[in-house]
Structure 1
Amino acid sequence: MAAPNITSDQSALLSLKAKITGDPHEILASNWSATSSVCDWKGVTCGFHHRRVTALNISNLGLTGTIPPQLDNLSFLMSLDMSRNNFYGELPHELIRLSRLRVLSLGINMLSGNIPSWLSGFLPTGLFNISSLEAIALRSNSLSGSLPSSICLRLQGLTWLDLGRNKLSGVIPTSLSECSKLQVLRLFYNNFSAVIPEGFGNLTVLVELRLGGNNLIGVIPEGFGNLTALVDLRLGRTI
């Protein structure tokens, strides 16, 4: 089998284009053409030396469609931002193969189903196995399921986790306190229950914590006094 190259990247992106049923500004329709270099396409960034796709940013373009499994062929991809569009359906489990991925931003779409097992069991657990991930943003979709108990086992570099405004349930795992580099944690407006983990006091570089709009009970853990970097704390039913 031939080694993956820029042609593989082009084929993967054309598979995505084929799944787009709505492109109101005709950006992909007019710009993503097999007659031009993929590195010149709107929203595509290529590496300087190896000339492979390293970033895809097609956020806020009003696109409608589904996410094809062929995106897993973007083997040099480090950042994927498809937020603020109208993508629907489930996240393909094949995306777990994006071993270089650092940023995943799919917030404010219409994605549904369980968080892909590649992301977290029902949340599909594999996403949380992509150890290179530093930011996960899946806010304002319709994702269901629960967070895995070992969520931080491999995500030691995670700095940003935004799962607000979904349909997640269960308890907030205590193991989140092991994501020691976490700066932003947004779990607001889901269906989480039980108490806020005491271990959250170990998140000493946390700047923003938003847990409002859930079914949490109990008291604020004493460990919150250790969160000296915290500037935005929201526990009530606020936006």
Structure 2
Amino acid sequence: MEGVWKSKPKGQLDSLSRCFIACPFIVLISLVHTAHTQQNQTPPTDPDEARALNSIFQKWKLPVQSSYWNISGKPCSGRAIDNETHFDDDNYNPFIKCDCNFNNGSICHITQLKVYALSVSGPIPDELWNLTYLFNLNLDQNVLTGPISPSIGNLNRMLYLSFGINALSGEIPKEIGMLSNLSSLAFGTNNFSGPLPSELGNLTKLEQFYFDSSGVSGPIPSTYASLKKLRILWGSDNALTGPIPDFIGNWTQLTQLMFLGNSFDGPIPSSLSALISLTDLRIGGVLNRSSSLAFIKDMKNLRILLDKCLDFAANFPLTFGQL
């Protein structure tokens, strides 16, 4: 009869019930299998980079927790490739991050390396310069010694490069000037010697430059006039000589300028008056004390002024009638 619901035979109901009970487990097993398959399908790490990284860590006697990533077999795995773990997370050190999208997703390259404040000592292993896909390298606050190899010029993808607070020596290699994409460069608090390389003037994308207490000496190269994107420059406590260049007045994006503890020839150039974005200005060691503070009158954002040339220090806001 039409419109009358007909019950299913008992055997069919039992079969249907078993399906409802079993299906969730089948789906769960399928998901686990899929996840396992995806993990196994993670592209391999470039073998040259894997060997280089292992050699670096062995020479520096660095242990790595296996829960982070598989240093011995597949460095680009685990935390090194997930999107949730950030490179700057203090819980992961030493640490790498990888990019597995190269060659249509068939290979992973190491793109970031952090060995921060782990008391690593000795020279920088040559194998480091084989990690040519690095764009972020942080070796701050260790006990690294010896020179930086000219082979650093191989790292032409580098954006953020930091060797600060170590015991590195020798001259700053001019090959750093080949890293034309650099946004941040830090080699302060080291035992370097010699001049600032003129080739660093090629770093026209540089926004942050830290070389305070680095040991460099001599004049600021004229090629640095090209560094017009600088926002932060720390150059205190070196043996810099000659005049403070007029072209610094063209670095109009500067918010911090620190030149304490050098041996500059005065006076402080009036061109610095164009640096109206400055919030922190510290200048000292200018041999000719005929400088004045007139150049700061339009620096409305200035919050810290320390001028050891004039034995003057102030915290702002400050009315210019006090000068």
TM-score over 0.5 (shorter chain): yes
Larger Cα Rg: Structure 1 or Structure 2?
A: 2
Partner of 1:9: 49
Code of the aligned partner of 2:190: N
Deviation at 1:156, TM superposition (A): 1.1
Report SS of the residue matched to 1:112. Answer: strand
In 2, the alpha carbon distance for the partners of 1:39 and 1:89 equals 32
Deviations 1:113-146 (A, max 9, x none): 111xxxxxxxx21111211111110010001111
Match of 2:284 in 1: 236
Instruction: Find the partner of 1:100 among 131, 144, 157.
Output: 157
Query: After the TM superposition, which residues 151-162 of structure 1 pair with which residues of structure 2 at under 5 Å, given as runs?
Result: 151-152=200-201, 154-162=202-210
Instruction: Spell out the pairing of 1:1-239 with structure 2 (5 A cutoff).
Output: 6-20=46-60, 26-27=63-64, 33-40=71-78, 42-50=94-102, 51-115=108-172, 124-152=173-201, 154-236=202-284
CA, structure 1 residues 28+185, in 2 after alignment: closer, same or farther (shift >3 Å)? farther
Q: Which amino acid aligns with 1:125?
A: K
Q: TM-score, normalised by structure 2?
A: 0.64
**CA distance in structure 2 between the aligned counterparts of 1:234 and 1:164, rounded to whole angstroms:** 12
Aligned pair in 2 of structure 1 residues 67, 170: CA closer, same or farther (>3 Å)? same
Rounded Cα–Cα distance in structure 1 between residues aligned with 2:228 and 2:234: 15
Query: Mean alpha-carbon deviation: is it higher for 42-51 or for 140-149?
Result: 42-51
Counterpart of 1:120 in structure 2 is none
Q: Following TM superposition, by how much is the alpha carbon of 1:46 offset from its aligned partner in structure 2, in angstroms?
A: 0.5
Distance 1:223 1:231, change over 3 A: same
Q: 1:78 to 1:167 in 2, by over 3 A?
A: same
Cα distance in 2 between the residues matched to 1:36 and 1:100: 23
Residue 182 of structure 2: SS of its match in structure 1? coil
Between Structure 1 and Structure 2, how many residues are aligned? 223
TM-score (norm 1): 0.85
1:135 and 1:208 map into 2 onto residues whose CA distance is: 14
SS in 1 for 2:217: strand
Which has the larger helix fraction? 2
Shift of residue 186, structure 1, vs aligned partner: 1.3
Letter aligned with residue 127 of structure 1: I
Structure 2: how far apart are the matches of 1:76 and 1:39?
17
SS of the aligned residue for 1:133 comes to coil
- Please, which runs of 5 or more residues in structure 2 have no aligned partner? 1-43, 81-93, 103-107, 286-305, 307-323
Which residue identity lines up with residue 178 of structure 2 in the other structure?
Answer: N
Partner AA of 2:239 in structure 1: N
Residue identity opposite 1:143 in structure 2: F
Q: Which segments of 5 or more consecutive residues in structure 1 lack a partner in the other structure? A: 116-123
* Kept after mapping to 2: 8 A contact 1:211/1:234: yes
Identity percentage over the alignment? 31
One-letter amino acid of the structure 2 residue matched with residue 88 of structure 1 = T
Kept in 2, the 8 Å contact 1:160–1:183? The answer is: yes
SS at match of 1:96: helix
Contact 2:146 / 2:170 at 8 angstroms: preserved in 1?
yes
1:177 counterpart letter in structure 2: A
Q: Contact 2:156 / 2:178 at 8 angstroms: preserved in 1?
A: no
**What secondary structure, in the 3-state scheme, does the structure 1 residue paired with 2:248 have?**
helix
- Contact kept? 2:248, 2:271, Cα under 8 Å: yes
